[in-house]
A and B are shown apart, each in its own frame.
Chain A
Amino acid sequence: MKYIKFFLVGILFGIVMSKAEIISWYRIYEMFKFQSFHMYGIIGSAILLGMISMFLFKKKMVKTFKGEEIYVMPKKEGLSRNLLGGILFGLGWALAGACPGPMFVLLGKGVVSILVVIFGATLGAFFYGVYKDKLPH
């Protein structure tokens, strides 16, 4: 039962990704062409409102439903990992037109070929795990 809430929030996520056309390859292309405000508005407003959430978490004004403090784990520092990893991710994002969330939403839409992208992404994560110690971080 404790997992039902994640399922429901996931449904909301899938709906908003679809209804706002974030799962559309064209919207990602248009964003990287700077020909629409749509994606910038979505990501920008999510971040601005997210700052308020983070403030409430840090000031302990909002705790988890169990009453525990919310700690947002900082991302790992490092120029190489973030910049080089980020560049590879960006190349894939613009080619697939989908990042790791929308991939699954597209599966729900019935796009069979996205399974190849998801398989590729899993393979990519696996190869990162294999070659992790040889990469700069």
Chain B
Amino acid sequence: MDFITQPWEWYVAGPVISFIMFLLYYFGERFGLSSNLETFCSIGGAGRYVNYFKIDWRENLWNLIFIAGAIVGGFIASNYMTTTDAVNINPKTIQDLADIGIMNGGQSYLPDEIFSLDTMLTLKGFSILIIAGFLVGFGARWAGGCTSGHAIVGLSNLELASLIAVIGFFIGGLVMTWLILPLIF
């Protein structure tokens, strides 16, 4: 039972994710999460304005079902498989976070300074959330993939395009973490 309630180590999670990718191909589909964002646009009627979104979204229905499952999985894991919400991050990371104005690092999954309802209801807080999302969505579709499609599938498949994209992910991530985040809070 300990295995169920304790956090899972990397050597459990990595193979499970790889197995999920394997299963999706075995089922005749693929592993790629960010294309769902385009499907949302198509369902919302974006095809009336932009030809790019004129697709038969039913072909991607399997992927919407997959993320519906992911939502349920997140619900199950946090309600029935977790005893503590704390994340065991490096003490040095907690100190670095305090230095840039993010307190209580690792005491829950997410920092209140970004995700609490109170923060969301401020102009600054709302802007951070929507800009972060916008960058993820715009960037992922420009690059043609995100962590699943590029980092895991593309690198497994030894594709140069994915190596370039992942280098880009890191350039962006390092700039945000080291240079921009300290200025925000």
Contact = CB atoms under 8 A, between A and B. Distances in A.
A84 B70 CA distance: 29
Interface string A1-34: 0010111111111111111111111111111110
A130 to B, nearest CB: 6
Contact of A11 (B49, B73, B105): B73
B70 A88 contact: no
Given A24-B110, A99-B147, A108-B75, A7 B139 contact: no
A25 B87 CA distance: 10
A86 B172 contact: yes
Contacts of B82: 18-19
Contact of B173 (A22, A44, A94, A127): A94
A72 interface: yes
A29 B97 contact: yes
A76 to B, nearest CB: 5
A84 B162 CA distance: 12
Contacts of A127: 134, 138
A110 B9 CA distance: 23
A58 B130 CA distance: 40
Interface in A29-61: 29-33, 35-47, 49-51, 53-54, 57
A117 B151 CA distance: 21
Contacts of A109: 74-75, 77-78, 109
B114 interface: yes
A125 B88 CA distance: 34
Contacts of A135: 142
> Interface on chain B toward A: helix, strand, loop, or mixed SS?
helix
A70 B20 CA distance: 15
Contacts of B90: 30, 35-36
Nearest to B29: A6
B74 A18 contact: yes
Interface in B50-86: 50, 52-53, 61-63, 65-78, 81-82
Contacts of A94: 172-174, 176-177, 181
B157 A54 contact: yes
Given A83-B168, A89-B136, A41 B74 contact: no
Contacts of B19: 49
A87 B167 CA distance: 8
Contacts of B174: 32, 90, 94
Contacts of A29: 93, 97, 177, 181
A11 B109 CA distance: 19
B65 to A, nearest CB: 4
Given A33-B96, A83-B171, 18 more contacts: A7-B69, A9-B23, A9-B27, A15-B77, A35-B89, A50-B18, A51-B158, A65-B26, A85-B138, A89-B136, A92-B134, A99-B140, A105-B73, A108-B74, A108-B75, A113-B114, A121-B37, A125-B137
Interface of A: 3, 5-33, 35-47, 49-51, 53-54, 57, 62, 64-66, 68, 70, 72-79, 81-101, 103-114, 116-130, 132, 135
